[in-house]
Structure 1
Amino acid sequence: MESGSIVHIDYDLYNADTEDLIETTRQHVAEEHEKAEPGRTYSPLVTVVGDGRLIAGFEAHLLEAKADEDYKFDIPPSEAYGERDPSAIEVMSLQQLSRAVSDPESLQIGGMVEIGGRNGILKSFRSGRASIDFNHALAGVTLRYQYRITKVVSDRAEKVTTLLETNTGRDGFECAFEGDDLTITLPEFVSYDQN
Structure 2
Amino acid sequence: MVEKGKLVKVSYDGYVEGKLFDTTNEELAKKEGIYNPAVVYGPVAIFAGEGQILPGLDEVILEMDVGEEREVVLPPEKAFGKRDPSKIKLVPISEFKKRGIQPIKGLTVYIDNIPGKIVSVNSGRVLVDFNHELAGKEVKYRIKIEEVVENKEDIVKEIVKMYVPRLTDVNVTIENETVKIELPEFAPFIPNIERFKMAIANEILKRLEDVDKVAFIETFERKKENMEKTE
**Amino acid in structure 1 at the alignment position of 2:174:** A
1:161 deviation in Å? 2.6
Residue 110 of structure 1: which of 89, 103, 106 is its match? Answer: 106
The CA deviation string for residues 120-141 of structure 1, in whole angstroms up to 9 with x for no partner, is: 1001124554221111222111
1:97 deviation in Å? 4.6
SS in 1 for 2:52: coil
Indicate conservation of the 8 Å contact 2:14/2:142, yes or no: yes
Q: 1:128-147 to 2 correspondence within 5 Å? A: 128-147=124-143
1:3 deviation in Å? 0.9
Percent of residue pairs bearing the same amino acid type: 26
- 1:23 and 1:191 mapped to 2: Cα distance? 28
1:32 deviation in Å? 2.8
**Amino acid in structure 1 at the alignment position of 2:5:** G
Give the TM-score, by structure 2 length.
Answer: 0.71
Return closer, same or farther for 1:69/1:83 CA change in 2, 3 Å cut-off. same
* 2:14 counterpart residue number: 13
Structure 2: runs of 5 or more not aligned? 195-231
Indicate conservation of the 8 Å contact 2:9/2:145, yes or no: yes
- 2:154 and 2:62 mapped to 1: Cα distance? 21
State the structure with bigger RCO (CA 8 A, min sep 6), 1 or 2: 1
1:177 deviation in Å? 4.7
Give the RMSD, CA atoms, in angstroms. Answer: 2.4
* 2:4 counterpart residue number: 3
The CA deviation string for residues 99-148 of structure 1, in whole angstroms up to 9 with x for no partner, is: 4x51233x321111222443210011245542211112221111111011
Give the TM-score, by structure 1 length.
Answer: 0.83
1:98 deviation in Å? 3.5
- 2:69 and 2:9 mapped to 1: Cα distance? 13
Number of residue pairs matched by the alignment: 188
